[in-house]
Structure 1
Amino acid sequence: MTGYLVQPASVERFRDGFDGRIVTPEDGDYETVRGVFNAMITARPQVIAQCGTVRDITAALRFARDNALPVAVRGGGHSVAGACLVEDGLVIDLRRLNAVTVDADAMTATASGGATWGDFDKACQPHGLATTGGRVSTTGVAGLTLGGGSGWIERKFGLACDNLLSVDLVTADGREVTASELENPDLFWALHGGGGNFGVATRLTFRLHDLPEFSMALMLWPGDQGRAVAGVYRDLMRTAPDEIGGGLLYLTGPPEEFVPGHLVGRLCCGVLVTCTGPETRLRDIIGPLLATAPPGQVITDVPYAGLQSMLDDPAGFRNYWSDENLRELPDEALDRFCERALDMVVPSPSQHALLPWGGAVTRGQDWPGFDRDNQWAVHPLGLWADPADDDRAIAWARNLRADMRPWASGDVYLNFIGDEGDDRIVAGYGEENYRRLQRIKADYDPDNVFDRWHDIKPA
């Protein structure tokens, strides 16, 4: 709380010369502009600065400083922790800055700070190029990448941050800096997992990869067959080539054409397998899963950008996510994982996910973030509508984490979790990396203006 409201005259002066739009609670569309993916985040900022230029970002930071306002930065608005809103403060809303340019000859793409992965993938698709992005199209490029950047094609191409070539940033004091391997290399290191702790990312440049063909298989079974399917899937992924990604998840059977009527609205076990190659190659690899005769299945070539938008969850649900990274996945761990699925709030869009790391993820550089030697991520992804289900849904996620603890590494991929306390933030980096991040934070944000994304305290 700031203790006072910003004076209207001050807001009017802020509007003068601002290239974008200033939104306050008095505006009729304030609630729409304020809304974020997680309906449990109810913070009401005093001012939302919908920036149209980098100059607007600098002006917004100055206005916040002059009026003693806390600051949040919004890209895609997907932060389950609520990093994109702040109570009684100022939101720097980047959604108008969503341009993506592709240099096909150099095999690079540059995204403005408010671009989503939908914007990014659609720009790259005509060139047959891609890089690892989020698992849905509505996630912001900057937020996902700066937090690490897990996605469907990470086993082939690494995390999003592994493909990051440079970042342009506006710091808390209004400086414009560039971070790359050659410029401000310590800051560049910190931006590979340190999230939005160091400034406002205005432009990110990525290495692209050839992806002329892409295919997917989505298979569904009744939930009570999940344990048998999970064993087949685990064994398949132990030897799967890097071109294979995806995950196993329990979910509510959706009313889609490929889903038999008796599975719609019921707890199902699903497996998504992605392939950075054609359908024929995919079918060769998933033979053991097909041998179990999934009653619902779709196997097809598909544009990568098409898959990315195919799985979008609608905004407006209540959300609680968490994560445990596992070094191994023995039968007992699978037993507990599958048993806990029965506690899901069904019907709902919630997903009880088991995701494979491995492949190129394990060959990433020594960036801050989770231990790349982990083999699996257990990711309860809770989405539900009724506030009466809050306690049950949160307990389900926490109990799944507790179930997995005997096999967990103790670290965490921070993009997968909400606010779980300072100990989990340190665990997400490791103590040595966290201390280094604190020193870099002190260089670029000594007053801790950017404290909304899993806060790194300045040294």
Structure 2
Amino acid sequence: MESETENENHIDEFESGFLGDLIRPEDSGYDDARAVWNGMIDKRPDLVARCQDVADVISAVEFARDRDLLVAVRGGGHNAAGLGTCDDGIVIDLSPINWMDVDPDARRVRVGGGATWRDVDHATQAFGLAVPGGVVSHTGVAGLTLGGGYGHLRRQYGLTCDNLVSVDLITADGRYLAASEDEHSDLFWAVRGGGGTFGIVTAFEFEAHPIGIELATVETWHPIEDATAAFEVWRDFVETAPPEVSGEAIIWGIPEDPHFPEEHHDDPVAIITAVYCGDPEEGENRLRPLREFGSPLLDFSGRTRYLDLQQGFDPFFPAGEHRYYQGSIYLDSLDDETITKIVEREPSRPDPRILYYVWNLGGAIADVPEHATAFSGREHPYLLAIDCKWDDPEADEAVLDWARSFQRDMDVHSPGESYRNFPGLGETDDIEPERSPRRDETADRLVELKDRYDPTNVFSRNHGVRPSESARTDGGAGDE
């Protein structure tokens, strides 16, 4: 066993060739460096390697592999399961690698592996462009893209990973590879929805789309007594809507925020939303039937700046201040029985800040053939997402039990799959082909690629694709 002095010597040697910062538990910035978005994640790594460039990432991977350290890779740190940190081991932190390079004529943007969607949106909107991203702007580009990526533009332009053109990636053995349809295409297939388990992506290249600066939106907040009718009206609308329309139907409590009437704080509400990706005037006409439903308590509909739309949820989900849980389950349909079960769950919420919502899918998402990328779930029409927020650690069990039982109860309305980027706390992290036989081909192919690129499972915390037993025994053949 290596002595403490020998370990420090190795760290000192590592640090001498490292451009970024190496942060140890005794350093003053350690608690900030180890923190992630979910305040209930309290991991204590032995070392945080805050990388400044690709050379730093290579050095960190080689150091971790040679020392047989547990590796966590942090991009935006937004993963609710806390995959961007670990106990003991090393966190390879890409957050300083957040550069942007937009080519407005080619409608392409290259993005550093530590960037967030706020960074991307800021850079692309200067030219009236957008890359389909998430719905909270401090979400990391890396995690969202590698897991698929649902956002406000999803039905018109597809998943985030569908707009990926190429990646630069560091493999488990410290090699730098560029992957695209033309080069290392097997790896490029895997990183589009297969998670971050095949290497560390240091740069993404995306196709950007001309959406302009403003979009037409509907966002009406209704009394909970009208929830069933609101969900039915929303369902009927989105089931015949063109691909330009993406929306959500939400159950929530009115936030304790000065933008909302104090007398209604924490009151349960049903919110129906839609975004039209196209000409705002045409969008307002298209979305009018949704806006005309009922007598809403609040109406935030109208033309909305894309940057404001992307940041609208940010104040309610700040980093590190609350405890979070994000679970999900795909739905086969949104018939009346399913809607009733969803709405009837509201009174049992353990905290009024818990929200859950249904996304309409299809459109460009379903236009991509099932096995064209590693993403699974393209054929499903809806996704039920459960976002829990609370503060009291003593409430953990009650909140988690509520969320997990909700998912179990909805299983009869589901193909039994969840969205990779809403993995709970990791309980749905492993690929489960026995629950979804249609996914056997994708699951088997991911394992084959894991065997090739990471046979010793250096990247073990990134969405749980494990190498086969034979690969772990012989170390894998690599990809020369």
Q: Same fold (TM over 0.5)?
A: yes
1:55-454 map, 5 Å: 55-212=55-212, 213-255=214-256, 259-284=260-285, 285-312=287-314, 313-316=317-320, 317-348=322-353, 350-365=354-369, 366-418=372-424, 419-421=426-428, 425-426=432-433, 430-454=439-463
Q: Which runs of 5+ in 1 are unaligned?
A: none
Aligned match of 2:477: none
Shift of 1:270: 1.4
Shift of 1:261: 3.9
Distance (whole Å) between structure 1 residues aligned to residue 82 and residue 266 of structure 2: 30
Q: Which amino acid counterpart does residue 379 of structure 1 have in structure 2?
A: A
Q: In 1, are the aligned partners of 2:155 and 2:364 still within 8 Å (CA)?
A: yes
Q: In 2, are the aligned partners of 1:82 and 1:452 still within 8 Å (CA)?
A: no
Residue correspondences, number: 457
Q: In 2, are the aligned partners of 1:267 and 1:346 still within 8 Å (CA)?
A: no
Q: Residues 20 and 422 from structure 1, CA distance in 2 versus in 1: closer, same or farther, beyond 3 angstroms?
A: closer
Shift of 1:201: 0.2
Single out whichever of 194-203 and 409-418 deviates more from structure 2.
409-418
Q: In 1, are the aligned partners of 2:249 and 2:271 still within 8 Å (CA)?
A: yes
* TM-score (structure 1 length as normaliser): 0.95
Distance (whole Å) between structure 2 residues aligned to residue 176 and residue 97 of structure 1: 16
Shift of 1:321: 1.7
Aligned match of 2:475: none
Shift of 1:254: 2.1
Distance (whole Å) between structure 2 residues aligned to residue 416 and residue 408 of structure 1: 16
Q: In 2, are the aligned partners of 1:411 and 1:430 still within 8 Å (CA)?
A: no
Distance (whole Å) between structure 1 residues aligned to residue 211 and residue 343 of structure 2: 34
Q: Residues 245 and 258 from structure 1, CA distance in 2 versus in 1: closer, same or farther, beyond 3 angstroms?
A: farther
Shift of 1:155: 0.6
Q: In 2, are the aligned partners of 1:95 and 1:114 still within 8 Å (CA)?
A: yes
Distance (whole Å) between structure 1 residues aligned to residue 191 and residue 274 of structure 2: 30
Shift of 1:39: 1.8
Shift of 1:257: 6.2
Distance (whole Å) between structure 1 residues aligned to residue 460 and residue 430 of structure 2: 16
Distance (whole Å) between structure 1 residues aligned to residue 259 and residue 228 of structure 2: 22
Distance (whole Å) between structure 2 residues aligned to residue 123 and residue 186 of structure 1: 30
* TM-score (structure 2 length as normaliser): 0.91
Distance (whole Å) between structure 2 residues aligned to residue 179 and residue 99 of structure 1: 19
Q: Residues 295 and 69 from structure 1, CA distance in 2 versus in 1: closer, same or farther, beyond 3 angstroms?
A: same
Q: Which amino acid counterpart does residue 275 of structure 1 have in structure 2?
A: Y
Distance (whole Å) between structure 1 residues aligned to residue 258 and residue 356 of structure 2: 22
Distance (whole Å) between structure 2 residues aligned to residue 421 and residue 238 of structure 1: 29
Deviations along 1:2-51, one digit per CA (max 9) or x if unpaired, are: 99868333222221121110111111121111110112222210000000
Question: Partner of 1:322: helix, strand, or coil?
Answer: strand
Distance (whole Å) between structure 1 residues aligned to residue 69 and residue 217 of structure 2: 47
Question: Partner of 1:239: helix, strand, or coil?
Answer: coil
Question: Partner of 1:329: helix, strand, or coil?
Answer: coil
Distance (whole Å) between structure 2 residues aligned to residue 4 and residue 180 of structure 1: 44
Supply the RMSD in Å over aligned alpha carbons. 1.9
Single out whichever of 45-54 and 428-437 deviates more from structure 2.
428-437
Q: In 2, are the aligned partners of 1:125 and 1:303 still within 8 Å (CA)?
A: no
